[in-house]
Amino acid sequence: MLIGELKHINNTSMTHRFPLKEIAQQSGLSTATIDRVINDRPNVSPQTKARVERAICELEGQETQLAARGRRMFFDFVIEAPDRFSREVRQAAEQVLPKIGTAVCRPRFVLHPKMSEAEVLSTLARILKRGSQGVCLKVRDLPSIRAAVDRLTKAGIPVVTLVTDLTGTNRIAYVGLDNKSAGRTAAYLIAKSLRTMDGTVLTSRSNDLFLGEEEREAEFIKTLNHHAPNLRIVDVTGGQGVHHETARLMDKAVGHLGYLCAVYSMGGGNITILDVLEQNKITPDIYIAHDLDKDNRALIEAGRISFVLHHDLRIDLENVFQAFLHHHKLLNGILLTPISNIQVVTPENIPTEPHN
């Protein structure tokens, strides 16, 4: 629902689909601010309007939760990742919410392809100020961000890391795949699939500061050197998984690849990587990517990707919510947040798409 539609409803009736209080709780803004946005009053920034619109979209995806009875718990997700991955996280959360019976869980999302250190810190400071029953993070492993996480936990707000961890913090759980095992698996697949043990392997990470990708790379290099010591590794890192920056870095690297026999993409941007390679008439024998999102599903169906190292985000999100509920003593027993199993997806065993 757009702001204009909500404004029309608000002006024609004392009640409407989403009460001001619900929108305020979802957006983290005051009811007075929501009222100003809906009624198109002056002195409202574009950023505030965007937060209200985003909150309304989130409420539309949580309608079963709005009607549910029970203790309401607001959980904040701060995710720095390409849109394709953020969409998967949001969709997985919405799919598992109806299965949770011990409380009414209401996620609030801050999703950006690239967040500066200052933006992450500002977001966490805002959450600390307004309060939250839990924060789920996929952000870079920086000292200032680790300190902000410890401020949240000191204030009684539990933190869970998703897919990529933060070192030395008081977070209550890490949820996601075993990144070290993923790196070893990628190296094994490449070493056992190649017809030759000479050539170049291109590795690509989105950023130097995502701990999960760093763990994948370290284990990949160690394992590949063991199985195929003659293969040369060329790393292209820093594209954030987004088109423009990934294309720029790839354009600089293609002249140094020589015979490219394999690609291990740890951080996304696969359409761009493949397009740049094809423009330069380079076709790797093996291409390994992570996560069966919409883009990678299309690429493996078309035969442009050889393998996808996949894990079920729905299980991850179930574990996120369970960790939060266990912290608030709404679940009994020992907290179990098992590391997600890696599924090696090929063009011959692509799982069907999940539905709500």
Q: What residues does each domain of the chain span?
A: 1-59, 61-175+313-340, 179-310
What are the residue ranges of helices labelled H in the chain? 3-12, 20-27, 31-38, 46-60, 63-67, 83-96, 117-130, 143-154, 179-193, 211-227, 243-253, 270-279, 294-301, 313-327
Residue 233 phi/psi, 5° resolution? -105, 130
**Backbone phi, psi, residue 213, to 5°:** -70, -35
Topology given in CATH for the domain delimited by 61-175+313-340: Rossmann fold (3.40.50)
**Cα separation values, 242 from 158, 196, 265, 273, Å:** 31, 32, 13, 10
Q: Please give the pLDDT value at position 6.
A: 44
Following CA atoms 57, 59, 64, 69 in sequence, which dihedral angle do they give, to the nearest 10 degrees?
170
Structure-block tokens of residue 109:
């999302």
Confidence (pLDDT) at 67: 59
Q: Measured between alpha carbons, how far is 289 from 307 in angstroms, rounded to an integer?
A: 6
pLDDT value at residue 63: 62
Our CA angle for 226, 229, 232, nearest 5°, is 125
Using an 8 Å Cβ cutoff, are 41 and 7 in contact? no
Distance of CA 293 to the CA centre of its chain: 11
pLDDT digits over 262-283, tens only?
A: 999 998 899 999 999 999 999 9
Distance between CA 300 and CA 296 in Å, rounded? 6
Residue 7 has a pLDDT of 43
Q: Is the pTM of this model over 0.95?
A: no
User: What pLDDT is stored for residue 308 in this prediction?
Assistant: 98
Give the residue from 129, 126, 123, 134 showing the smallest Cα distance to 100.
Answer: 134
Q: What is the pLDDT of residue 16?
A: 44
CATH C-level class of 1-59: mainly alpha
Please spell the DSSP secondary structure of 245-299, one letter per residue: HHHHHHHHHGGG--SEEEEEESS--HHHHHHHHHHTT---SEEEEE---HHHHHH
Q: Judge if 1-59 and 61-175+313-340 fold alike in CATH terms.
A: no
Reported as a single tens digit per residue, the pLDDT across 1-44 is 444 444 443 433 323 477 787 787 788 788 888 888 887 888 78
| Region of residue 152 (phi > 0: left; psi between -120 and 50: alpha; otherwise: beta) | alpha
Strand pairing category for 343-345 and 307-310: antiparallel
Distance CA 236, CA 73 (A): 41
Question: What is the domain class of 179-310 according to CATH?
Answer: alpha beta
**Would you state the pLDDT for residue 62?**
67
Spell out, as residue ranges, where the chain has pLDDT lower than 50. Answer: 1-16
